[in-house]
Amino acid sequence: MEKRRAGPFSVTALALGCMNLSHAYGTPPERQTAEALLHRALDAGIDFFDTAALYGFGANESLVGAVLKPHRARITLASKCGMTGVDGKRVIDGRPATIKRTCEDSLKRLGTGVIDLYYLHRWDKSVPIEDSVGALSELVAEGKIRAVGLSEVSAATLRRAHAVHPIAAVQSEYSLWTRNPEIAVLDACRELGTAFVAFSPLARGFLSGRLTDPATQLEAKDIRRQMPRFDPEPYARNLALLDGFKGVAAETGCTPAQLALAWVLARGGNVIALFGTKSLEHLDENLGADGLRLSPDAIARLDALINQNTVSGARYNAATQTEIDTEEFT
């Protein structure tokens, strides 16, 4: 599989986000299915796996740790701190002591002596970013993590953090329908030599073309039910964009999901597409995007078709929006 750089690591350009196996997108799969999916990804050549203390309030790290431990030497393992489950609730806490305690807990659940790439999951705006990254740099010095990452931050915050310790990767949502990184963060990452890890490259399933009616297809506890873009009226308008998108996929000779991933990977040599799935079939389909190259004409048509001006609905609801630091289109 194609490889790209993420800090000191050479990783597959297609990376597996493991959140879906324990968290957020409705009922998690059975343990046997989750284990089979992780093994299938390994067998296919994926060597970059992403989890977090938040996912399943520790359950995802325990799952990933148990399955991947025998293969630890051949993979790059990423996890996250700064947003965890406390007494059944999600809490953002970027204080140095909390970061260090979370790291110790994650190391135990993952069954490893060191985490390769450790992200600050969200910037706790009550704590200077320099303090949180300072704690992460101390974890590097202690040999508990190998590299530092940030998630959902602005270019200005990235630069402040990078002045304290090199930032190996920034992870933020990026797809045809979420273009916020194009405002400033993509350029900042290129300037600083930081990898950009694009999560939800399939637009949370929208670009797969399979999600036609969120009201009936999404489970009650699926996080997309809290996202304005998936409300009935805006989603109906967004669905109208898919005919042209599917047309480009057909001309390219790939599926819509593969087209979405190829578009993300075409944004730059430092961009990694981090996708998640609960389905072995969808995993195999997504892996078909490896090595897919889009023509300049196809990219231009996609850019014109689905962008911040043609997509309806906000990315997050008002409460969640306050928790992130990414730039917004005016």
Q: How far apart are CA 24 and CA 19, in angstroms?
A: 7
Q: Which residues, 6 or more positions from 209, have their beta carbon under 8 angstroms from its beta carbon?
A: 242, 245, 246, 256, 257
Tokens of 14: 């297609």
Phi-psi region at 4: left, alpha or beta (left = phi > 0; alpha = psi -120 to 50): beta
Residues taking part in catalysis: 55
For residues 83 and 85, give the distance between their C-alpha atoms in angstroms, rounded to a whole number.
7
For residue 86, the surrounding DSSP H or E stretch is strand 83-86
As a whole number of angstroms, the distance between CA 165 and CA 40 comes to: 35
Spatial distance between the Cα atoms of 294 and 265, rounded to a whole number of angstroms:
10
The single residue listed with the structure tokens 């990933």 is 64
For residue 149, which phi and psi values (nearest 5 degrees)? -130, 165
The two three-digit tokens of residue 323, written as one number: 């928790």
